[in-house]
Amino acid sequence: MVKFIMVGFLSSVLMLTGYELVVQASSSVTFTIADKFEPEIEYTIDNQDVNAHFIIKNKSGHPFTFHFDTHQQFDYILFDEQGKIVQQYSKIMTFSKIPTETPVKPGGSLHYEVTLDDLPAGKYRMLFILMAKELQVKESISFEVS
């Protein structure tokens, strides 16, 4: 079973300049978004169930809105010890084709929860990916189920 929760806030204006995506938060402030968002994963293991919490923090002092092509806002890929894909969220779920957006206030964050039930014993690596048009934030964790 897979579960997820998403939380977020507010908005801003985007500009694409050359190869660097920048945000214009006001007429006089510009910053590179890749430097202002920090991914983090917290997780717990209870027997053979893994609960992962993917967090993307807005470290800037400005609101920002992430835009998504569909209702899918994140993906994860679970790899076994040999690097073989065990599970991929986008392969087991279907999403509405309606574009979505998620605002994040200054100092705020996006939160996504994933529960993986009954994993066989072994070593795993889980890669989380934010699927936003502006920035695909990636973070991974490695863990062992005994």
Residue among 143, 129, 135, 121 at smallest CA distance from 67: 135
107-134 average pLDDT score? 95
Is residue 123 within 8 A of residue 80, CB to CB? The reply is yes
Residue 34 has what pLDDT?
Answer: 63
SS3 94: coil
pLDDT, tens only, 38-92: 899 999 999 899 999 999 999 988 899 999 999 999 999 999 999 999 999 999 9
Residue 17 has what pLDDT?
Answer: 30
> Is pLDDT of 4 > 70?
no
Residue 60 has what pLDDT?
Answer: 87
Q: According to the per-residue pLDDT averaged within each range, which of 14-23, 26-35, 79-88 is highest?
A: 79-88
121-136 average pLDDT score? 94
Phi, psi (deg, nearest 5) at residue 101: -140, 150
Sign of CA dihedral 128, 125, 140, 49: positive
> Is pLDDT of 33 > 90?
no
pLDDT, tens only, 77-113: 999 999 999 999 999 999 999 999 999 999 999 999 9
Residue 21 has what pLDDT?
Answer: 43
